[in-house]
Amino acid sequence: MSNQTPRIDPSQVSNTEHSVFRIIAKVLDQPQPTELILQSPTTNGEMLTLPHVKLSQGGNIEVGSWYEFVCRGVDTGDVGLMVLDSVKCELKEGEEISVSGIVALQQLSGKFPDLY
């Protein structure tokens, strides 16, 4: 499964060769039931904002939380994403997600596609 849906750097969304891929991102806002604004770390550690991310169906997405999203590029000619599935990154009280850890995971996934 992991080599069929690789994790990619969010800066590669518009030019990836993969039709379906995964990104780890924080949900900044949900302006509509089927639209998200995400923020995801790039390889250089900067946070890239991804606006107008479409949900294939309205879901129970929590603003301010981190998720791993299974996505595909939008077919309408616009540069964008459509979320096919998502898994919330559950953190215990007082825990924070490591942005550098996410970047390292994206880089390792690129080198070792079978890494899940």
Domain at 37, CATH number: 2.40.50.140
Q: How confident is the model at residue 1 (pLDDT cuts 50, 70, 90)?
A: very low
In a domain, 90, yes or no: yes
In a domain, 5, yes or no: no
The string of pLDDT tens digits covering residues 24-79 is 999 999 998 888 999 999 888 789 999 989 887 767 899 999 999 999 886 655 55
In a domain, 65, yes or no: yes
Bridge partners (DSSP) of residue 103 are: none
What's the domain range around 72?
10-108
Structural domain total, the chain: 1
Average pLDDT over residues 14-25: 86
**Model pTM above 0.85:** no
In a domain, 4, yes or no: no
In a domain, 1, yes or no: no
pLDDT of 76: 59
In a domain, 16, yes or no: yes
In a domain, 2, yes or no: no
